[in-house]
């Protein structure tokens, strides 16, 4: 005969653990996104970081609501993954400061974070549904959608930053280019000067 057990099941424990992990991560990201925005040279990229920062503040609130549904006080648990990803982001901001590849590096660092979040929220939505916590699932799904949106936006912006870095690379390597702008520049430098 089945007996009622008041102790949390493994899945309940896992769910709570991962909610706490993301709560820690999202709070860290609110600060990190501001810093990344300040470093980006492309205005569109800087704005994208700031608008995702605003979304992230809302995501922190959603997680607080999920804690509420669980009858728990919101409390983060150190997320080693986000610590590592942000440490890497700090390093590239330092290594590539004043470098034309900085924006490309920032986009890459940010996308690694988004992919971590997409994986984590994807799991949490499934756990919440399995546990019958439909209101929590809805909240987490809303965040998952935002994370996917942010990732797609970054993919589009990656093109700009990559073009910039590629252009600088070709100039650096002696003016060979696939781009029209640089072809013109190459022609100009090859035209013998008649002045003097
Ligand atoms: Fe997030
Ligand atoms: Fe995100």
List domains and CATH numbers for the chain.
10-189 (1.20.1260.10)
pLDDT recorded at residue 102: 93
Q: Which residue has the tokens 């022609």?
A: 187
Which backbone phi and psi does 17 adopt, to 5 degrees? -60, -45
Cα-to-centroid distance, 148 and ligand 1 (Å):
10
- Closest ligand to residue 58's CA: 1
Q: How many CA atoms lie within 13 A of 15 on its CB side?
A: 24
pLDDT, mean of residues 62-76: 97
87: which 2 tokens?
Answer: 């440490």
CB 140 within 8 A of CB 121: yes
Give CA angle at 36 (42, 82), nearest 5°.
Answer: 140
Cα angle 17, 112, 36; round to 5: 105
Q: Which residues line ion ligand 2, judged by CB < 5 Å?
A: 117, 147, 150
Cβ of 101: how many Cβ atoms within 10 Å? 18
pLDDT at 38: 96
d(CA 11, ligand 1 centre) in Å: 22
Indicate the pTM of the whole model: 0.83
Q: What is the pLDDT of residues 25-52, one digit of tens each?
A: 999 999 999 999 999 999 999 999 999 9
Tell the burial category of 11 from Cβ atoms under 10 Å away from its Cβ (0-12, 13-18, 19+): exposed
Q: What is the pLDDT of residue 189?
A: 35
């Amino acid at each position: 005969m089945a007996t009622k057990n008041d102790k949390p099941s493994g899945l309940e424990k896992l769910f709570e653990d991962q909610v706490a992990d993301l709560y820690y991560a999202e709070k860290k990201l609110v600060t990190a996104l501001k810093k990344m925005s300040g470093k980006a040279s492309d205005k569109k990229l800087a704005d994208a970081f700031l608008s995702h920062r605003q979304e992230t503040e809302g995501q922190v609130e959603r997680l607080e609501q999920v804690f509420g549904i669980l009858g728990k006080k919101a409390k983060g648990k150190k997320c080693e993954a986000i610590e590592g990803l942000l440490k890497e982001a700090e390093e590239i901001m330092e290594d590539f400061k004043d470098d034309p590849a900085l924006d490309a590096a920032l986009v890459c660092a940010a996308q690694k974070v988004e992919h971590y979040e997409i994986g984590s929220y994807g799991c949490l939505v499934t756990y919440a549904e399995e546990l019958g916590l439909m209101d929590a699932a809805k909240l987490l799904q809303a965040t998952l959608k935002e994370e996917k949106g942010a990732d797609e936006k970054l993919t589009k912006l990656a093109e700009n930053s990559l073009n910039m870095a590629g252009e600088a690379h070709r100039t650096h390597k002696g003016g060979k280019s696939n781009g029209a702008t640089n072809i013109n520049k190459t022609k100009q430098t090859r035209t013998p000067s008649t002045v003097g």
